[in-house]
Amino acid sequence: MLTKKTPKSVFLFSCEKCDFECCKKSEWDRHLITRKHVLLTDLTPKNPLHFCKNCDKQYISREGLWYHLKKCDKNKSFGGEVNSDIKELTLLVSSLVDSNKKLQTQLSEISKNPTTNNISQTNTFNLNFFLNDNCKDAMNIDEFVNNIDIKIHELEQVGTSGYIDGISNIILDRLNWIDVYKRPLHCSDAKRETIYIKDENVWKKEETNNPILRQAIKNVSFQNMKLISNWGEIHNESKTIDSKLNDKFLMLVKESSGGNGDLDNNENKIIHKISKRVIIDKVR
């Protein structure tokens, strides 16, 4: 043990291990690095201990630890647990392999016999759910048409834009004002223009010629034509032949009654414009 003596002693530094005393710091520093002092004060054990990781017993030699490990009960128990875990893991892997083989076999059979009918039924079910559940509060088509209040400027737009664009815009504007789930018609297939219409409180799939929607277009066109007399009363000069307002009046009459070309073809074009704007968003 190293101690520093009190100022009363002649020797300021003393080493009990080496039985050495001195009063100068320089002599003391030299002593600390001498072979004798280093050997006597080395605290490192010459024989490091070896521990058993299973039961924490200590052994001086590796041989003693090695013999102990062969007999250690905890080590045996641990080994047994490991073997048991390995067996369970092996069984689990084997079970998973069998399940995977069965799944591969099922997938192979499905690929050979595709269930087209099931897919079709699923899609139909989704469409029915959309119409009868999400859109259960939608208005009927006749209610929708009867609530359309055409304005004078829309009548004039039919005259300038033509029958097809004018009537289409009147119908589409009103549809845009209504919540998607409250609309009286939806298109489920843009390419085939498959249209479903709420009529008499029932969702109906339109026939090839779209008779229900076609009648709705005729009713809107008739409402538009009835405004022509009101327009004439507002513009008295339209009754004067060869006047600009008279030319405009004649244009309103022509376009409101179907415009150029075959009326059925023009109605088909209106149906095409409407169907593109009411396509069902299948992501909803």
pLDDT digits (tens, 9 = 90+) for 64-109: 777 777 777 655 554 555 566 677 777 777 777 777 777 777 777 7
Each domain of the chain, given as residue ranges in start order, spans: 2-43, 48-113, 127-277
In 6-84, the DSSP E strands lie at 13-15, 20-22, 50-51, 58-59
What is the pLDDT, as a whole number, of residue 41? 78
pLDDT above 90 covers a percentage of the chain that reads: 46
How far is Cα 103 from Cα 174, in angstroms, rounded to an integer? 53
Kindly state the average pLDDT of the residues 203-219. 95
Q: Residue 79: its pLDDT value, please?
A: 54
What is the structure's pLDDT at 202?
A: 96
E strands, the chain, where? 2-4, 13-15, 20-22, 50-51, 58-59, 185-189, 194-199, 202-205
Q: Is the pLDDT of residue 205 over 90?
A: yes
Distances (CA, A) of 12 to 29, 37, 244: 13, 18, 130
pLDDT digits (tens, 9 = 90+) for 162-202: 999 999 999 999 999 999 999 999 999 888 999 999 999 99
pLDDT in the model for residue 114: 58
Closest CA to 165 of 63, 274, 34, 6: 274
H-type alpha helices, 178-258? 211-234, 244-256
Q: pLDDT at position 118, please? A: 44
Calculate helix-pair angle for 163-177, 244-256, nearest 10 degrees.
Answer: 70
| pLDDT attached to residue 75 | 54
User: Is the pTM for the entire model greater than 0.75?
Assistant: no
DSSP 188: E
Q: What is the mean pLDDT of the chain?
A: 83
Judged against a pLDDT cut of 90, whether residue 1 lies above it is answered with no
User: For residues 199 and 184, what is the distance between their CA atoms, to the nearest angstrom?
Assistant: 8
> Which phi-psi region, left, alpha or beta, contains residue 209 (left: φ > 0; alpha: ψ -120 to 50)?
alpha
- State mean pLDDT over 55-62: 72
State the Cα–Cα distance between residues 169 and 155, nearest whole angstrom. Answer: 11
At residue 20's C-alpha, the angle toward residues 17 and 21, to 5°, is 130
First and final C-alpha spacing in the chain: 85
